[in-house]
Structure 1
Amino acid sequence: MRQIVEVAWESLNKAGEELCGDHVEVTTTPTSLVVVLSDGLGSGVKANILATLTSRIAAVMFREGATADEVLETLAETLPECQERHLAYATFAMLKVDRARDAYLVEYDCPPLILVRAGQVVDLPLAERTVAGRLIREARFRLQKGDYMVLVSDGYVHAGVGGLYRLGWGWENIATAVRRWAQTGGDAYELAQALKRTCLKLYDGKPGDDATAVAMRVREAVRVTLWTGPPADPARDAEAVNRLMAAEGLKVICGGTTAQIAARVLGRRLEVEWLPPSKRQDRAKKRTPPPARLEGVDLVTEGIITLGMAVELLERARTVRDLPHDDESATRLAHILLTADEVHLLVGTALNPNQVADLVRGEPMRMVYVKELVRLLQERNKQVTVERI
């Protein structure tokens, strides 16, 4: 199973400002991840624009293979120093990870990356050098499963100045907090939320500066294989079932006929999910048919209606936390797809005479929904493959 880096971030605006002067840019390719956190000089609209420009330029250039020298030279030409304070208009930290293992870090005038491994804060082998008149720190290191990493802007380091911490929260205290929290084994989103809550509390609810934390966790990728629709050739039924059952990770079937084929080939019983009498009235209000159970398959649902509803949910939800809190078949399906990092769609191409074709595109609705799923999942940086059978 391949390894991935899970990323989440949270920002706090300086009290009284509508826009945050920090900006996070995350770009991905099939083999790499680039994360850039930039802190614009000052706060408000100007800082937001400067941080956004810096992070986007850096992220795109690093993603395309540019060196740190090329990025710094471009930024120096694009965003010159402030003439009054002789400071760069924006600072940044950039982390590029190839195949979720080989990491390259570049830091310019910002708090160092926090790396927690096996319950300890790791000292990174940082080297300093001057590029385009600016001092940067660089490090190359190898990531391991279970590593946690955090990038913070100055607003975190200075949180609580004059209060609980006379000189602010400080990098060392933040690193200790991350180390202790990592023992929970939670995900990147939960870590970012925990840091945000503490930072806001230290500011007594009124941040004195823009504050951003980017949390990352290295973990195994979650893979999902979804089979929908019977094969065009019934002689390939067993092949389709075997491909599903041999796949790593979670297994999903969407379609009544498809589920019946799987049950027949496997010689197992297909059962509609049973509900106690007290909940049957609620089921009548559901928008999608009830799921079924088939040994060895994680979720079995009806086909077209459920796929269509799942597409609607994904249009509105960026993460699983945006989904409705119900047990609808479509919600369960959307939850599994949003949790996944890799999705393989096994699509049967048998024509169903009862299936209405899309009037605009002139193709079966199953394929319309499959294409929409692919688009929505790819927009969320999922690796999606489609196999027709």
Structure 2
Amino acid sequence: MTEYFIDASYKNINKFGEELCGDNVETVKTDDGVILVLADGLGSGVKANILATLTSKIAVTMLKEGASIEETIDTITNTLPECSVRKLAYSTFTIIKIKNNGETYMVEYDNPPCFFFRKGCDYPLNKVERVVNGKKIHESHFKMTTEDLLVVTSDGAVHAGVGELLNLGWQWEDINDFLRSLSGKNYFSGEVSENLLAVCNKLYNNKPGDDTTVLSVKLQYRKYLDLFTGPPANPEDDDILLEKIRNAKGLKILSGGTTSNIVSKAFGEEVFINLKDYQKYDVPPVGFMRGVDLVTEGLITLNKTVDLVKKFHDATYSGENYPLNEEDGATLISRMLLKESTHINIWAGTAVNPAHQNPDLPTEFNIKLKVVRDLKFWLEKLGKTVNLIYL
């Protein structure tokens, strides 16, 4: 049975003048997939944020522990009572449970209806309406594939433009048309969310009249990448490093002169350095070796890679595009990590390079290890599955 990488990401903007967002998204991984909850608290500001956070955290916690949807909604209802004046629920929500094989269960309660596309076309879902503890919900069961796009939003999206550029806001049908145009493109979920949210913010004239959240979900075939940097602390463990390189089943990157020399000698393969145009870049030139996909210098290049990945993250989550068009080592690594992989292993040798620091310092002060920890952090913030293994 095929198992996919669940590519899910969200972005939001606060109501103008508010420090906290009245929407909240919670994500939790399970043994066989992911549970996602988008909750929209009544009103805005601190109160709405607390209500949305409570709703989403209750939902993901209970569902992960095996509670039924009836039990979950009952707990939410009893924890967050209705508004005594408006007779409205204090929080609306959308729940998505998706397994690694694509099987999906979704519950929608008073949020705008989801947007779903297959092969770039609208694909209607069979939704069943029923009442649970006085709440009218819509349930749907379906199986996602790599050709699908699922998007859910808070009502700030369909209100975008009210009082600014549009009299009645950005209607659901218009958002659907916009997303349809994106669904056929090879975008990551984060790029879909950023594009939609950017238009919402523009329609609000950069002064959002409501908290607005976009959660996008896609499936990808799993793509593996192994990044090897630094020799093992014990030279006798070099054979372990070489075995890991031989058995890596995806892209292979060697970062560091000592690492590439160990591999070159063991494999009997020469490293060819690409000196073309390297003078215009602020990192050392890249190299190529048969059997691996890229060879780079170590600390300087990885440090620049972390910087690029962080900038890509910040741009993505502010609704902007951050191109990775250069051909220097850091950009090449970043592109492979961000665009060509879903599951990443970082093999970090703990030997200390005396050119970088005093070798007598404890391991936790190893500069390169701090860099790879930072790299892992930012990659995970972008939804990648990252393992950091020390040698």
Q: 163-172 or 54-63: which moved more?
A: 163-172
Q: Which amino acid aligns with 1:151?
A: V
Q: Tell me the distance in 2 between the aligned counterparts of 1:139 and 1:31.
A: 19
3-state SS, counterpart of residue 156 of structure 1: coil
Distance 1:311 1:31, change over 3 A: farther
Which residue of 2 is the match for residue 383 of structure 1? 385
Q: Tell me the distance in 1 between the aligned counterparts of 2:134 and 2:216.
A: 30
Q: 1:5, 1:100 within 8 Å by CA — same for their partners in 2? A: no
Distance 1:266 1:192, change over 3 A: same
Distance 1:11 1:375, change over 3 A: closer
Q: 1:4, 1:218 within 8 Å by CA — same for their partners in 2? A: yes
Which residue of 1 is the match for residue 361 of structure 2? 359
Q: 159-168 or 260-269: which moved more?
A: 159-168
Matched, 1:172 2:173: yes
Q: 86-95 or 108-117: which moved more?
A: 108-117
Matched, 1:200 2:195: no
Q: Tell me the distance in 2 between the aligned counterparts of 1:314 and 1:360.
A: 28
Which residue of 1 is the match for residue 262 of structure 2? 261
- From 280, 288, 292, give the equivalent of 2:287: 292
- The correspondence of residues 319-330 of structure 1 with structure 2, limited to 5 A, is 329-330=329-330
3-state SS, counterpart of residue 157 of structure 1: coil
Distance 1:40 1:383, change over 3 A: same
3-state SS, counterpart of residue 156 of structure 2: helix
Q: Tell me the distance in 1 between the aligned counterparts of 2:88 and 2:198.
A: 30
Gapped regions of structure 2 (runs ≥ 5): none
Distance 1:267 1:123, change over 3 A: same
Q: Which amino acid aligns with 2:361?
A: L
Q: 1:270, 1:292 within 8 Å by CA — same for their partners in 2? A: yes
Which residue of 2 is the match for residue 56 of structure 1? 57
Residue by residue over 1:303-360, the C-alpha shift from the partner in whole angstroms, topping out at 9 and shown as x without a partner, is 3555566567778874686989776645654554455431223455778787843624
Q: Which amino acid aligns with 1:25?
A: E
**Structure 1 residue 274: Cα displacement:** 0.2
**Structure 1 residue 147: Cα displacement:** 1.0
Q: 311-320 or 11-20: which moved more?
A: 311-320
Q: Tell me the distance in 1 between the aligned counterparts of 2:332 and 2:360.
A: 25
Q: 2:9, 2:193 within 8 Å by CA — same for their partners in 1? A: yes
Residue by residue over 1:182-203, the C-alpha shift from the partner in whole angstroms, topping out at 9 and shown as x without a partner, is 1232222222222223323444
3-state SS, counterpart of residue 194 of structure 1: helix
Q: Which amino acid aligns with 1:291?
A: V
- The correspondence of residues 229-268 of structure 1 with structure 2, limited to 5 A, is 229-230=230-231, 232=234, 237=239, 240-241=241-242, 243-268=244-269
Output the TM-score relative to the length of structure 2: 0.81
Matched, 1:214 2:221: no
Q: 2:162, 2:209 within 8 Å by CA — same for their partners in 1? A: no
Q: Tell me the distance in 2 between the aligned counterparts of 1:258 and 1:299.
A: 12
**Structure 1 residue 23: Cα displacement:** 1.9
Q: Which amino acid aligns with 2:254?
A: I
Q: Tell me the distance in 2 between the aligned counterparts of 1:96 and 1:130.
A: 20
**Structure 1 residue 50: Cα displacement:** 1.6
Q: Tell me the distance in 1 between the aligned counterparts of 2:162 and 2:367.
A: 59
Gapped regions of structure 1 (runs ≥ 5): none
Output the aligned Cα RMSD: 3.7
Q: Tell me the distance in 1 between the aligned counterparts of 2:162 and 2:315.
A: 36
Residue by residue over 1:199-227, the C-alpha shift from the partner in whole angstroms, topping out at 9 and shown as x without a partner, is 23444544333222212222123321122
Distance 1:164 1:69, change over 3 A: same
**Structure 1 residue 371: Cα displacement:** 5.8
Q: Tell me the distance in 2 between the aligned counterparts of 1:185 and 1:132.
A: 41
Distance 1:100 1:26, change over 3 A: farther
Q: 50-59 or 196-205: which moved more?
A: 196-205
Which residue of 2 is the match for residue 125 of structure 1? 126
- The correspondence of residues 1-389 of structure 1 with structure 2, limited to 5 A, is 2-29=3-30, 31-99=32-100, 101-160=102-161, 167-230=168-231, 232=234, 237=239, 240-241=241-242, 243-276=244-277, 280=279, 282=280, 286=282, 289-304=284-299, 306-307=301-302, 318=313, 329-330=329-330, 332-333=332-333, 336-338=336-338, 340-347=341-348, 356-357=358-359, 359-361=361-363, 381-385=383-387
**Structure 1 residue 87: Cα displacement:** 0.8
Q: 311-320 or 60-69: which moved more?
A: 311-320
3-state SS, counterpart of residue 270 of structure 2: coil
What is the aligned residue count?
382
3-state SS, counterpart of residue 59 of structure 1: helix
Q: Tell me the distance in 1 between the aligned counterparts of 2:371 and 2:272.
A: 26
Distance 1:35 1:241, change over 3 A: same
Q: 1:245, 1:251 within 8 Å by CA — same for their partners in 2? A: no
**Structure 1 residue 88: Cα displacement:** 0.6
